[in-house]
Amino acid sequence: MKHFITLKDLPNFKAAVDLAKSLKQSPYEFEAQGKRKTLGLLFFNPSLRTRLSSQKAAQQLGFSTMVMNFSNEAWALEFEDGTQMRGIRSEHVREAAAVVSQYCDMVAIRAFASLTDKAQDEAEIVLNSFTKYADIPVINMESATGHPLQALADALTLEEHKTLHRPKVVLTWAPHPKALPHAVGNSFTKMMEYQDAEYVITNPEGYDLDKNITKGIPVIHNQEEALKGADFVYAKNWCSYSQYGQILRTDNAWTLTEEKMALTNNAKFMHCLPVRRNIVVTDGVLDSPNSLVIEQANNRTFAAQAVLKTLLDHA
Ligand code: CP
């Protein structure tokens, strides 16, 4: 594995989940493997879980870490080639990526979708520029279109909590006051391709995810119908994909409530966090014993550690 940009980069998905599971039991087993290596973490957007869990994962493998917030600490980067750099962008990604490669052995990057220009977001300019101009492995810590570290952690959480051979897993859209990207829903859906499960997506009309990602998966526009018999319910907001970046509804009719969870097969509740209480999901669901959200966050460390170790193994 040269880079970790999507789940497809993993040489073997099941082996990666098994590795994450075993690292959770024995986090320091490979502490010597990253000794005298440095992981750079570059953030173009905020983070709590990804930032801390990736650092912890790296430290448990013996790495040193360097963290930089590009939103307020670094020179603003230019990504366009051949441009006269007269504006506020002081440094070209060609030099920045090459320079980071001198200090770091791997670089992890978070760069969200703008949600204003679908074509530009789908071109994944930040991540692709770094893979092009850095000569070290690049790790996706959530890009415009995907959040594979979250999806790998979610796979570990499903594995740990499933009691049926073939559970029903429902990804439900939920309301949110801000326009949010599609990355988590996209990667969770790609991850479900590796699961033996009945997988259903439910969202209001106008909120269907990219059909290239949901191809072959039932998309139901009636939330209560979709939730019936579910063993896992994963709630997440995303803005409209067809009317790119738009919020089409502001009501709370799709908030996940205790009454809706009563339609399920005593389902476990999942969310990647951060979550808006009593908008995305009620306190009662979030604070119930069936809520897995803290365990999902815990599993972020071991998912990241599995990815770092796999990159080291294939260096
Ligand atoms: N789930 C997740 O990626 O959390 P952060 O945005 O806090 O990193």
Task: Give the closest residue (by CA) to ligand 1 atom 3.
Answer: 50
At 71, the pLDDT band (50, 70, 90 cuts) reads confident
Q: For 169-198, how does the pLDDT look when each residue is reduced to its tens digit (9 = 90+)?
A: 999 999 999 999 999 999 999 999 999 999
Q: How far is CA 2 from CA 6, 34, 106, 131, 259, in A?
A: 12, 16, 10, 10, 47
Q: Which domain holds residue 236?
A: 162-291
Query: In this predicted structure, what is the pLDDT of residue 315?
Result: 78
- Domain tally for the chain? 2
The closest-lying atom of ligand 1 relative to the alpha carbon of residue 147 is 3
At 265, the pLDDT band (50, 70, 90 cuts) reads very high
The closest-lying atom of ligand 1 relative to the alpha carbon of residue 50 is 8
Output the domain CATH number for residue 194.
3.40.50.1370
Query: In this predicted structure, what is the pLDDT of residue 84?
Result: 97
Burial class (CB within 10 angstroms; exposed 0-12, middle 13-18, buried 19+) of 64: middle
pTM: 0.98
The closest-lying atom of ligand 1 relative to the alpha carbon of residue 48 is 7
Task: Give the closest residue (by CA) to ligand 1 atom 1.
Answer: 272
Q: For 148-177, how does the pLDDT look when each residue is reduced to its tens digit (9 = 90+)?
A: 999 999 999 999 999 999 999 999 999 999
**E strand spans, the chain:** 38-43, 64-69, 77-78, 91-92, 106-110, 138-140, 168-173, 198-202, 219-220, 232-236, 268-270
Question: Smallest Cα–Cα separation from 111: which of 73, 70, 74?
Answer: 70
Residue 157 lies in a domain: no
Q: Are residues 47 and 143 in the same domain?
A: yes
| C-alpha 189 to ligand 1 mean position (Å) | 18
Is residue 156 within 8 A of residue 21, CB to CB? The reply is: yes
Question: Smallest Cα–Cα separation from 54: which of 72, 41, 71?
Answer: 41
| C-alpha 44 to ligand 1 mean position (Å) | 13
User: Which residues line ligand 1 at a C-beta cut-off of 6 Å?
Assistant: 47-50, 142, 150, 272-274
| C-alpha 244 to ligand 1 mean position (Å) | 22
Residue 261 lies in a domain: yes
Query: In this predicted structure, what is the pLDDT of residue 239?
Result: 98
Q: For 246-259, how does the pLDDT look when each residue is reduced to its tens digit (9 = 90+)?
A: 999 999 999 999 99
Residue 274 lies in a domain: yes
Q: Are residues 171 and 61 in the same domain?
A: no
Q: Are residues 116 and 214 in the same domain?
A: no
Residue 1 lies in a domain: no
Residue 307 pLDDT > 90, yes or no?
yes
Q: Are residues 13 and 122 in the same domain?
A: yes
The closest-lying atom of ligand 1 relative to the alpha carbon of residue 110 is 8
Task: Give the closest residue (by CA) to ligand 1 atom 4.
Answer: 49
